[in-house]
Amino acid sequence: MSTTTLTHDEAHHHEAPKGWRRWLFSTNHKDIGTLYLLFALIMLFLGGASAMLIRMELFQPGIQFLDPDLYNNLVTNHALIMIFGAVMPAAAGLANWMIPMMIGAPDMALPRMNNLSFWVLPAAATMLILSFVVPFFPGGGTQINTGWTIYPPLSVQVGMSMDFLIFAIHLLGISSVLASINIIVTLLNMRAPGMTLMTMPMFCWTWLVTAFLLILVVPVLAGGVTMLLFDRHFGTSFFDAAGGGDPVLFQHLFWFFGHPEVYILLLPSIGVLSHVIPAFSRKPLFGYKSMVGAMLAVATIGMVVWAHHQYTIGMSLGAVTYFMIGTILISIPVGLMVFNFIATMWRGSMTFETPMLFAVGIVLMFTFGGLSGVMLAVVPADMQYHDSMFVVAHFHYVLMPGAVFGLFAGVFYWLPKWTGHMYDEKLGKIFFWTNVIGFNITFFPQHFLGLAGMPRRIVDYNMMFTEFNVVSSIGAMIFGLSHLLLLYIVIKTIRGGKKAESRAWEGAKGLEWELDSPPAFHTWTVAPQIK
Amino acid sequence: MVLRANQNSDADEAVLIIQPNRNLTWNQSKWLFLFFAFSIGLVGTYFYSLGAWLVLPFAGLEIAIVGIAIYCQSCCAHSQQVISIDETHVRIRDNQNVPAEKCFHKAWLKIIQNQDPKGWYPSRLLIGSHGEYIEIGKNLVEEEREMLANNLRSAIEGA
């Protein structure tokens, strides 16, 4: 056993640090959560700006101001920025802020790793943005016109911007894996005494499953893009049929990651809903155990049905049938979750504050997106819908309500806890309605465009599609601009407003509501005892 | 962090156990790691069999990171100091790395709570005598450390 002299040689900060060092060297889960959320907000506006450009181009048939390659570059960057830059970091921000407070832990299990997993993100985002910008410079090569799926052989032929993208994906993967490991270790080892896995808040459960999914699928994507890099620069032929390779192999690698990624984006929002709906229905969540079971089923089945994105590549009948049945099976546990949310609301004393409005909107619109997903799961139908605007409409109906609106619900639900101020409820409701109406005007007509045969990822379209495209573009402007109101509400709430109580919402339950609003820099330094 | 105090009245000995809060035993941590290693390994092997052998190094790297993370956290979570106070002696057993025990005679014992003058760092609780001191309650928060110091003083005076 070591003995010591009476000096101070240990470096443990207990006071809140000040200035830029507070953020750069932060190991505090709340600060890192704030950094994640801020980063996600910036990326949301970047990704949103590219979406607005896409819709402006599609406002009229013919080529307006974007050449076809640039249009596809924007499509690629919009998807990657939104998925990896906005939605995943925002969900990680909520996790960082809420998980330790919800389970009664003083911080994340590995705080330094937490810092690293965030600070890798800006580097990744820089690489991602460079992949878009580089082609504009002399010698920068061709634009990334592959879409976010970066399928070879096209991705092997693209200029150096693809290399930036590959390294950006690697960095994003490192960040995700580190964050996931941290979350898993925190949830499994740092719960307050008396809190079992089956009494853990549902948001924590959703993140446990999400983190596990991420850990399983990220190495596959990392391997896939590295093979792509090797094909591009080191003379290998993993995906080159002329050299004995198989371009379809990349599709399997990509979608083994890409399909569970959908659940990675969705599940944290399902977790948010599991808190928001009971709080504003003033009832406990209906079917906690079935909810956990459904989530595990979604994750398990979701891992093994990736090839439904590849029906048109010419798989064997047996394989196609398997992937079709598996995909349709997912609708059962997802339906169970939706049923549980509706059953929670049933005969509850419901009030419709902004988080609840988003929650109800999600239940309606996500179900709608799920139904068009069942249509796409059916092979003969998918053969018709494949690569049409119907697919664009479908995944936006799944991901916007299922992931983004869920995060909005979470932000409005926990904003009083984070800032210590109530947000402006009237503005919150205006934001909800403009956002939801704008969203539906944008994407609902795209179902009809797809069914009528308009292909996606093409800068021009036939005259017959003009009307619905005009409507869709007007909707996109409303939808996009409505997010400025979100920014205003958040800034206004941070700067002041009505003081929030510890339990900001009457029906809110959970350890996080036992803490002050805003919580102290260090919380749950003494673990609470759960009875 | 958790501070537990047990009183063994038969042996006339006060025992204080200082350990962080934890949910997993070492055995459960090992099973957790094996579960991750198996799952990631299975995915890596499947894609290796399809010809995508470059997935394997990434899978291996990830298994290593998961292992290190679980190990580090478990080591930290299983650190423990047991302070036994009997009629004449105070024994401090440290189970952090290599288990070790130190014994001090109560008559000479000093308990010093050393505050950082600038308030930048947490205080340090030192126990010992004759110039030989051991830091205890390193992983406690300030209030708990204060409480531990008071408990120790009263236990030593009262025993």
Asked whether the predicted pLDDT for residue B4 surpasses 80, the reply is no
* C-alpha span between A355 and A417 (Å, rounded): 14
Instruction: Check CB contact under 8 Å for B73 and A10.
Output: no
- pLDDT tens, B128-147? 888 888 888 887 777 778 88
Q: Say which amino acid occupies B22.
A: R
Distance set, CA A368 to CA A294, A333, A365, A440, A480 (Å): 19, 16, 5, 11, 22
What CATH number corresponds to the domain at position A43? 1.20.210.10
Q: Give how far A186 is from chain B: nearest CA, Å.
A: 9
Q: For chain A, what percent of residues have pLDDT higher than 90?
A: 90
Tell me how far apart the alpha carbons of residues B149 and B138 are, in angstroms, rounded to a whole number.
12
Number of folded domains in chain A? 1
Task: Look at B121 and A12 and tell me if their CB atoms are within 8 Å.
Answer: yes
C-alpha A457, offset from chain centre: 22
Is A249 close to B51, i.e. CB distance below 8 A? yes
Residue A527 lies in a domain: no
Q: Are A399 and A87 in contact, with CB atoms under 8 Å apart?
A: yes
> A299 CB near a chain B CB, below 8 Å?
no
Burial A494-515 (b: 16+ CB within 10 A, else e): eeebeebeebbbebbebbbbeb
Q: Does A125 reside within a domain? A: yes
Question: Look-up: residue for tokens 């003058």?
Answer: B117
Rounded CA-CA distance A204/A187 in Å is 7
Residue whose C-alpha is closest to residue A360's, from A280, A263, A262:
A280
Q: Where are the beta strands (DSSP E) in A405-447?
A: none
In a domain, A530, yes or no: no
Query: Taking residues B45-72, what's their average pLDDT?
Result: 95
Tell whether A254 lies on the interface with B, counting CB pairs under 8 A: no
CB contact under 8 A, A177 and B73: no
Nearest to A46 by CA among A110, A119, A126: A126
| Coil, helix or strand at residue A455 | strand
Percentages helix, strand, coil for chain A (3-state, rounded to 5) are 70, 0, 25
Query: A135-139, A187-191, A475-479 — which one is most confidently predicted on average?
Result: A475-479
CB contacts < 8 A (A, B): 144
In a domain? residue A4: no
As a whole number of angstroms, the distance between CA A193 and CA B22 comes to 8
- Mean of the pLDDT values across residues A159-183? 95
pLDDT of B12: 67
> Nearest by CB to A189, which of B24, B51, B54?
B24
Is the pTM higher than 0.95? The answer reads no
In this predicted structure, the answer to whether residue A170 has a pLDDT above a threshold of 90 is: yes
For residue A193, give its domain range.
31-514
Region A55-59: mean pLDDT is 97
DSSP notation for A176-220:
HHHHHHHHHHHHHH-PPTT--GGGS-HHHHHHHHHHHHHHHHHHH
Per-residue pLDDT tens digits for B25-57: 889 999 999 999 999 999 999 999 999 999 999
- How far is it, in rounded angstroms, from Cα A218 to Cα B39? 13
- pLDDT score for A6: 38
Tens of pLDDT, residue by residue over A458-513, are 999 999 999 999 999 999 999 999 999 999 999 999 999 999 999 999 999 999 99
B104 phi and psi angles, rounded to 5 deg? -125, 145
- Cβ A526–B1 below 8 Å, yes or no? yes
Which residues neighbour A10 within 8 Å (Cβ) at sequence distance 6 or greater? B121, B122, B124, B138
Q: Contact A188/B32, CB-based, under 8 Å?
A: yes
Which residue do the tokens 């590849």 mark? A310
Work out the minimum CA distance from B77 to partner chain A, whole angstroms: 8
Q: Is residue A415 part of a domain?
A: yes
Strand B89-94 and strand B81-85: pairing?
antiparallel
Q: What is the SS3 assignment for A16?
A: coil
A182 touches chain B (CB under 8 A): yes
Cβ burial of A22 (10 Å; 0-12, 13-18, 19+) is middle
Across the beta sheet with B89-94, the strand order is B2-8, B13-19, B81-85, B89-94, B100-105
Q: Which of A42, A50, A73, A92 lies closest to A164 in space, CA to CA?
A: A73
- Binding-face residues of B in 58-97 toward A, CB within 8 A: 58-59, 61-62, 65-66, 69-70, 72-74, 77, 92, 94
User: What's the confidence (pLDDT) of residue A485?
Assistant: 97
Domain parsing of chain B, residue ranges: 2-20+82-158, 26-77
Most confident of A118-132, B12-26, B73-87: A118-132
- A520 found inside a domain: no
Answer yes or no: do B23 and A191 touch at CB < 8 A: yes
Q: Which of residues 96-155 of B touch A (CB under 8 A)?
A: 100-102, 112, 114, 116, 119-122, 124, 126, 128, 132-135, 138, 141-144
Q: Is B135 helix (H, G, I), strand (E, B) or coil?
A: strand
Q: Which amino acid is at A460?
A: D
CB contact under 8 A, A5 and B133: yes
Is the residue at A22 inside a domain? no
pLDDT of residue B146: 85
CB contact under 8 A, B61 and A522: no
CA B68-B73-B77 angle, 5° bins: 150
- What residues contact residue A525 under an 8 Å CB cut-off, 6+ apart? A106, B1, B141, B142, B143, B144
B51 touches A at CB < 8 Å: yes
pLDDT band at A4 (very low <50, low <70, confident <90, very high): very low
SS3 (DSSP) at A239: coil
CA atoms within 13 A on the CB side of A148: 19
CB B81 within 8 A of CB B94: yes
A81 contacts chain B (CB < 8 A): no
Between these two residues, A520 and A357, which has the higher pLDDT value? A357
Q: Coil, helix or strand for A521?
A: coil
Contact A253 B55 (CB under 8 A): yes
The reply to whether A17 falls in a domain is: no
Contact A527 B32 (CB under 8 A): no
Is the pLDDT at A379 greater than 50, yes or no?
A: yes
Average pLDDT over residues A419-428: 96
Q: Output A4 or A231, whichever has higher pLDDT.
A: A231
A132, A73 contact by CB (below 8 A)? yes
